[in-house]
Amino acid sequence: MTDADLRTEGRPEGRTEARPEGRTPRDWAVDAAALCFAVLVGMVVYGVAAQHEDRPVWIQAVDLPLGALACVSLWWRRRYPMAVALLAVPALALSNSVFGAGMVITASLALYEPLRRSLPVLGLFVAASVPDALLLSDPHGTDWTAAAFSVAYYLVFFASGSALRSRRQLLVRLREDAVRERADHARRLADTRRAERTAIAREMHDVLAHRISLLSVHAGALAYRTRSAGGPALDAAEIEASARVIRDNAHQALEELREVLLVLRTEDEGTAAPQPRLADVAVLVGEARAAGQDVEFHDDVDAALASDLRPQVQRTAYRAVQEALTNARKHAAGSPVTVRLSGAPGADLTVEVTNPLAYEATSGPPRPIPGSGTGLVGLGERVALDGGTLEHGRADGVFTVRVRLPWPATSARDPRQRGKGEA
C-alpha cells in the first residue's frame, strides 16, 4: 500500500479508491513480485497435486486456465479488490494452480476491504473450497485433513492481511496526529509570540508614554511662553531650568528604556532593575507636579501593610496611576487631577484617579499630546492578569479611572494580627 492508499484508510468506508496518479515504482515492483510468486507457487502445487491426486479429467482441463486467470487478475487487486476476489471463487473451488494467487487475493481482500465486506467473501471462499477438499481430492473417501488445511489456508492469509491493514491504519492515524500536533504547536507558538509582543508593547507604552508626555508638556510650555505676545519674557534662569528639566526627563526616559530592554534580553532575573512599587506612587505624583500638573494625592494605605502585597500587584497599581496621569496630561491639559489609594488586607486595593473633562487652561501647549489610544487597553490587560478589575468612564463632567486589585488577608507581617496571636 502506498502513501496515497494510507491517506484513504481513515475514510468512513475504509476503502482505497482509484488513484489518478497511478502506480508508483514501488507499486510496480510489489505487484510484479506478487505475480511471479503466485505463478511459481501455483506451478509447484499443480505439479505435486497431479502426481498424488486422481481428479476428473474436466477439472484437470480447466485447472491451469483458471489459475492463469487468477494470477493475471492480481494486477488489479489494489484498485478492485472485491471484484478480483469474487471472480477468483471458481478458481479457488476447482484449481490447484491458483494456490499462490489465492494467498495474495485473500490477503489483499483483508487489506483493502473493511471486515463487514470482506468476511462474507471469506466465508464464500471456504464454502467453495471445502467440497473440493472433501470429495474431489480423494474419490475413495473423505479427506478431512485437506478440508482443515483449506480452512486454515484462508484464515492464515486473511489474518495476515487484516494485521497489515490495522498496522497501516495505525500509521495513518499517527501521521494525522503528528500533523495535528504540528499545527497545534504552530498555533501555540503564534499565540505565545503574540502575547510576548503585546506584553512588550504594553511595557514600552507604560514606561515611555509618561516620560515623553512630561517632555512634551515642558517643551510646549517653553515654546508657548517664548512666542506669546504681551506676556513676560523668560529670563535666562527660567530657560535654563526648563532645559534642565527637559534634559533630566529625557535621560530618565532613556534609562527606563534601557531597563526594559535589559529585562527582555536577559534570562537572569537577578540582573533586572528594581520594579516600581506602591511607595513609588508619591515620587510619580511629585514628577507630575514638577511638570506643572495640578495633582492632589490621597494615600490611605498603610505603608507597612502594603509591603506585604505581591510586587506584581504593586507594580500594576503604580502603572495605573502612571497611565491615568499621562492620559490627563494628553486629553485634559491643565485640569486638576485627584489620585487616591485605599485598601487593606482582606479587601481590595483601590486606585482611583479623577479629573474634570472641561477645563479652560490659562497657559500650556496649544495642541494636545498625541497618543496611541491603547493605554487603557494595556492597563486592562495588566489588571486582568492580576485578577483585578478596571473601570473607566465619564460621569457628571468628571472622567474616572478606577482599578481594584485583590489584597489577600495577611497574618505574618500584619502587626494587628501578630498582636492577637501573642495575646
The predicted-structure confidence for 188-221, as pLDDT tens digits, reads as follows 888 877 777 777 666 676 666 666 766 666 676 6
Cα gap 400→297, rounded to integer Å: 15
Residues 190, 193: Cα–Cα separation, whole Å? 5
The grid cell for 273 is 532593575
197 is a domain residue: no
Q: In the numeric block, which cell numbers belong to residue 331? A: 486629553
Last residue in a domain, options 186, 212, 233: 186
Same domain as 175, residue 55: yes
Assess if residue 356 is contained within a domain.
yes
Examine the pLDDT at 39 and tell me if it is beyond 50.
yes
**More confident position, 261 or 172:** 172
CA-angle at 383, arms to 378 and 385, nearest 5°? 95
CATH number of the structural domain spanning residue 411: 3.30.565.10
Q: Could you give the maximum distance between any two Cα atoms of the chain, in Å?
A: 138
Same-domain status, 36 and 167:
yes
Contact (Cβ atoms closer than 8 angstroms) between residue 340 and residue 320: no
- CA–chain centroid gap for 279, Å, is 40
Q: Return the higher-pLDDT residue of 144 and 150.
A: 150
In the three-class reduction of DSSP (H, G, I as helix; E, B as strand; rest coil), residue 97 is classed as coil
What phi, psi does 339 have (nearest 5°)?
Answer: -115, 130
- Give 213's contacts (C-beta < 8 A, 6+ positions apart): 326, 329, 330, 369
- The grid coordinates of residue 97 equal 494452480
Does the residue 82 lie in any domain? yes
At residue 134's C-alpha, the angle toward residues 133 and 138, to 5°, is: 85
Contacts of 349 (CB under 8 A, 6+ apart): 278, 301, 309, 313, 317, 341, 342, 343, 404, 405, 406, 407
- Other beta carbons within 10 angstroms of residue 136's beta carbon come to 17
Please check whether residues 150 and 22 belong to one and the same domain. yes
What is the average pLDDT across 144-164? 85
Are residue 158 and residue 28 in the same domain, yes or no? yes
The verdict on 26 and 134 lying in the same domain is yes
The mean-pLDDT minimum among 272-276, 282-286, 310-314 falls in: 272-276
Residue 267 has pLDDT above 80, yes or no: no
Residues spanned by the domain of 392:
278-423
**Residue 36 grid cell:** 511471479
The Cα–Cα gap between 168 and 4 comes to 12
Q: What is the mean pLDDT of residues 159-185?
A: 91
Whether residue 290 sits in one domain with residue 175:
no
Task: Give domain status of residue 11, yes or no.
Answer: yes
- Where among 186, 211, 235 does a domain terminate? 186
Whether residues 34 and 171 share a domain: the answer is yes
Residues 178 and 296 in one domain: no
Please determine, for residue 10, whether its predicted confidence score (pLDDT) is greater than 50. no
What pLDDT band is residue 408 in, cutting at 50, 70 and 90? Answer: confident
Of 141, 163, 186, which residue is a domain's last?
Answer: 186
Per-residue pLDDT at 265:
58
Whether 68 maps to a domain, the answer reads yes
- Has residue 178 been placed in a domain? yes
Q: Evaluate whether 301 touches 343 at the Cβ level (below 8 Å).
A: yes
* C-alpha dist (Å) from residue 177 to 62, 170, 180, 182: 51, 10, 5, 8
The pLDDT score that the predictor gives to residue 360 is: 45
Residue 109 lies inside a defined structural domain of this protein: yes
**Euclidean distance between CA atoms 69 and 59, whole angstroms:** 15
**292 lies in the same domain as 155:** no
In a domain, 203, yes or no: no
Q: Which residue has the higher pLDDT, 184 or 150?
A: 184
175 and 299 together in one domain: no
N-to-C CA span, the chain = 82
pLDDT score at 248: 74
The pLDDT tens digits for 287-297 are: 888 777 889 99
Cα→Cα distances 41→50, 53, 284, 294, 378, Å:
14, 18, 94, 102, 77
Contact 203, 258 (CB under 8 A): no
Among candidate residues 256, 306, 264, 308, the one with its CA nearest the CA of residue 281? 306
Cα 255 from Cα 25, distance rounded (Å): 67
* Ramachandran region, residue 368 (left: φ > 0; alpha: ψ -120 to 50; beta: rest): beta
Say what the pLDDT of residue 337 is. Answer: 93
Domain count along the chain: 2
